[in-house]
Structure 1
Amino acid sequence: MSNGADGSQPKVAANVDLGDVSLNQAVADGMQRVETLLMQELSKGEAFVSEKVLHLTKAGGKRFRPMFALLASQYGTEPMNERVIKAAAIVEMIHLATLYHDDVMDEADKRRGVPSANARWDNSVAILAGDILLAHTSRIMSELGVETVAHFAETFGDLVTGQMRETIGAGEGDAVEHYMNVIREKTGVLIASAGYLGGVHSGAKPEYIEALQGYGNAIGMVFQIVDDFIDIFSDTAQSGKTPGTDLREGVFTLPVLYALQEDTPVGEELRGILTGPIHDDATVEHVLALLARSQGRQKALDDVTAYLNEAERHLEALPECATTDALRNLARFTVARVG
């Protein structure tokens, strides 16, 4: 497995205990093959190009999407075959490409614990690094066939739509509905694609593939809402994150949006304060205290529960086995992160 940017081994999703020894080993082996393929493919071309493309790859990451593709392939007649490994790799490469582009749009300084590409080089280099990732991805997709190319054309259309939707903003529309559409398009669809491709390229039954897609979309919604929840309500020592980072950047996530809609003194005060980014610590602390008193926390948790239940319903369409248990536990573990 490739070394991280600091010379250490990157942390990948294969380190997660899936609750079954043989499944743990199979996924760890599969993730090693995915990582090897990533390094081989992204090292192709001119050195000055591959250096930039490998920047975030070497930094590690959870690698949840390729892991889910490998787990999805367990429902087929040929789990973790070479086509599945390629499918898992291209899902991660698409994800990496979106990170390069997102960091430019967000003017981010850090990504995966290292300087973002736009901070280390510049915006043009970061955009081009994302573009070359899409070129590498297209080459591998062509090896998997027209169906995979067509699927990703639709998926990438959704990803771009979500980014554009977020950039333009809700306008006069419902802010919560807008937020849900954005995270479905930016997060849910790519995790759903991992389930789809893992199932398709392992020979899984159509009903299993549909269930895996549905689970992936639902769990993507859970992941994003929980991440946003942690930004506001977590303890720094527990999460490693500074509470209120999104507020400082003027990004209002689900608990905040619900709180802003409240017809209460708390909601009224928040509407007076939250008109853009917050630049001083005292105001951030005050807003966090107001949010703790609001209904936003509980309403966001209710949505998490609803998406978790949706994920569970999709799992009911899959056979009971170690893989289904693993997917069920992964969903519950994600929700448990809110404390």
Structure 2
Amino acid sequence: MSFPNLLSWRSATAGDDAQIERHLHASLGSGDASLDRIAAYFTSVPASRHRARIAAAASLIAKPTSGEALHPDVVDVSIAVELVHIGTSYHDDVIHKTQTRNRAPTANKTWGDLEAILAGDFLIARASELASNHGTEIAKDLATTIGWMCEGRQRELSAIGRVIPVDERLETLSLSVGSLFSTATRIAGTLAGMPEASIARLAKVGGHLGSAFAIGADIDRFVAGEPSTGRSPLYDLKRGHFTLPVLLSESPPDAALLDHGAATVEHQRLRAEGVVQRANNLLRAAMQSAIDELANFDNNAARQLSAVLGTTTV
């Protein structure tokens, strides 16, 4: 799945992205040149900034504006959620011993595990600082979400080598990935001063989009692997990390398939069974749930975002 640019309906899309990038890089100075260099390593790589974009899009739903540029406060909170994602990616690369990301050596490969962990910590700390500039409620929401993400990642590690129920995998994805999308939209609503009921609806939009993104990533890993990290489609099967398509099988493997030939045969069997289509159905349902929630907001930004989601090809 190619996840859409959630700001593509804006006439100022390129300007929005450039504004986010400028402020992202401006937020990284620490006073220590070596830490700055490592922390900026992957923030300088071109990326889609999905979490920042959903925060910005949600802010335009929460507080429609005729201005072309995003408000600086909106950019601040958008960057905060994006920095959490980038910081946890540094940590993930250490946990999984990843050697490449975006086809470049990872920070842990280049500088070492300790340096990568410190850089990830710094990025998350900077995200917390940006959030705290806009009140304790927003800072608390972000801190709570970081805890959920840690819980989700621990669940992923605990599930290696086990066949878990599909609902458990979906809940894990919701915690480790979807929660940050949900919080991005919740923070946008809080920043705009929306009533709590409206904030909750906006958070549901983000949650459904986060679920769709996470399901799509699981499908991509099963079908094509992770080209950005050099992992093949067999990588997860061989280590017993069963993604959603595998768990949707009527007879999933019950252990890691360490042998390359056995993993290849199993991968072909699963694809022939139609597990990708089943996973795609769940992805479509999550996208439709986001569209349905957007119908609660009667403004142009909500309608435009709904249209973007409605034309997304799965």
> Which range moved further: 192-201 or 213-222?
192-201
Give 1:142-157 correspondences, 5 Å limit.
Answer: 142-157=132-147
Q: In the alignment, which residue of structure 2 is the partner of 1:300? A: 279
Q: In the alignment, which residue of structure 2 is the partner of 1:10? A: none
Counterparts in 2 of 1:101 and 1:328: CA distance versus 1, 3 Å: farther
Contiguous gaps of at least 5 residues in structure 1: 1-12
Q: Which residue among 16, 19, 31 is the counterpart of 1:45?
A: 31
Counterparts in 2 of 1:39 and 1:172: CA distance versus 1, 3 Å: closer
Q: In the alignment, which residue of structure 2 is the partner of 1:291? A: 270
Answer yes or no: is the 8 Å Cα contact 1:76–1:205 preserved in 2: no
Q: Is 1:194 paired with 2:184?
A: yes
Q: Is 1:141 paired with 2:131?
A: yes
Looking at structure 2, the residues matched to 289 and 331 of structure 1 have their Cα atoms a distance apart, in angstroms, of 31
Looking at structure 2, the residues matched to 126 and 72 of structure 1 have their Cα atoms a distance apart, in angstroms, of 32
Q: Which residue among 238, 243, 249 is the counterpart of 1:253?
A: 243
1:67 Cα deviation (Å)? 0.9
Answer yes or no: is the 8 Å Cα contact 1:192–1:213 preserved in 2: yes
Looking at structure 1, the residues matched to 89 and 111 of structure 2 have their Cα atoms a distance apart, in angstroms, of 15
Counterparts in 2 of 1:171 and 1:233: CA distance versus 1, 3 Å: closer
Q: Which residue among 42, 47, 51 is the counterpart of 1:61?
A: 47
1:208 Cα deviation (Å)? 3.7
Q: Is 1:276 paired with 2:256?
A: yes
Per-residue displacement from partner, 1:39-66 (whole Å, max 9, x unpaired)? 1121332101100100110112210111
Answer yes or no: is the 8 Å Cα contact 2:49–2:82 preserved in 1: yes
Aligned residues: 306
Q: Which residue among 166, 180, 196 is the counterpart of 1:176?
A: 166
The amino acid of 2:79's aligned partner reads: A
Give 1:188-227 correspondences, 5 Å limit.
Answer: 188-227=178-217
The amino acid of 1:329's aligned partner reads: V
Larger fraction in helix: 1
> Which range moved further: 286-295 or 144-153?
286-295
Looking at structure 1, the residues matched to 30 and 226 of structure 2 have their Cα atoms a distance apart, in angstroms, of 40
1:284 Cα deviation (Å)? 3.5
Looking at structure 1, the residues matched to 41 and 139 of structure 2 have their Cα atoms a distance apart, in angstroms, of 26
Counterparts in 2 of 1:43 and 1:330: CA distance versus 1, 3 Å: farther
Per-residue displacement from partner, 1:59-116 (whole Å, max 9, x unpaired)? 1221011111111111234753221111001011111111011111111111222211
Q: Which residue among 80, 83, 87 is the counterpart of 2:77?
A: 87
Looking at structure 2, the residues matched to 323 and 67 of structure 1 have their Cα atoms a distance apart, in angstroms, of 14
Counterparts in 2 of 1:19 and 1:172: CA distance versus 1, 3 Å: closer
User: What TM-score do you get using the length of structure 1 for normalisation?
Assistant: 0.81
Contiguous gaps of at least 5 residues in structure 2: none
Answer yes or no: is the 8 Å Cα contact 1:17–1:24 preserved in 2: no
Looking at structure 1, the residues matched to 196 and 303 of structure 2 have their Cα atoms a distance apart, in angstroms, of 17
Counterparts in 2 of 1:332 and 1:251: CA distance versus 1, 3 Å: farther
Asked which structure has the greater RCO (Cα within 8 Å, sep 6+), the reply is 2
User: What TM-score do you get using the length of structure 2 for normalisation?
Assistant: 0.87
Per-residue displacement from partner, 1:186-228 (whole Å, max 9, x unpaired)? 1111011111122222344544432221111111111111222
The amino acid of 2:304's aligned partner reads: D
RMSD: 2.8
> Which range moved further: 309-318 or 292-301?
292-301
Looking at structure 2, the residues matched to 330 and 45 of structure 1 have their Cα atoms a distance apart, in angstroms, of 42
Q: Is 1:24 paired with 2:11?
A: yes
In structure 1, the residue corresponding to 2:31 is in which secondary structure?
A: coil
